[in-house]
Amino acid sequence: MRVYTDEKGNILEYYFDISRQNVFDEEARIPYYDDLYLDVGVDHENNILVMDEDELEQALSENQITKGEYDLAQNTCNKLVEEIKSGTNYKKIIKKDGDF
């Protein structure tokens, strides 16, 4: 998850990358994740936007991901959107009235 702010530190957007796994490479000393293409954004008015669905479809059609990975991305995205809408696991971050 990333948080985008304006110059005064006001939160503009929460941005979630749907990924297969998050890893810390001990040798290179850097974190990385295996991107599954879909992203979810939530703005300061609590509007939810699912992005890059076309990239996910293209990755599946070009065999860059498996059907299982495709399903994982879709299911994870759907669950995240439902949790955001209901306030589950995000009550302290995104309030139902749209305030952060």
Strand partners, 31: 24
Q: What is the pLDDT of residues 2-25, one digit of tens each?
A: 899 999 988 899 999 999 888 888
The separation between the first and the last C-alpha atoms of the chain, rounded to the nearest angstrom, is 15
CA nearest neighbour of 33 among 18, 46, 48, 23: 23
Residue 90, pLDDT score: 57
Place of tokens 């005064």: 8
Distance CA 93, CA 84 (A): 10
Residue 100, pLDDT score: 46
More confident residue, 89 or 74: 74
For the chain, how big is the Rg over CA atoms in Å?
15
State the pLDDT confidence band at 82, using cuts at 50, 70 and 90.
very high
Q: Domain spanning 2-86: which CATH class is it, in words?
A: mainly beta
Residue-range domain boundaries for the chain: 2-86
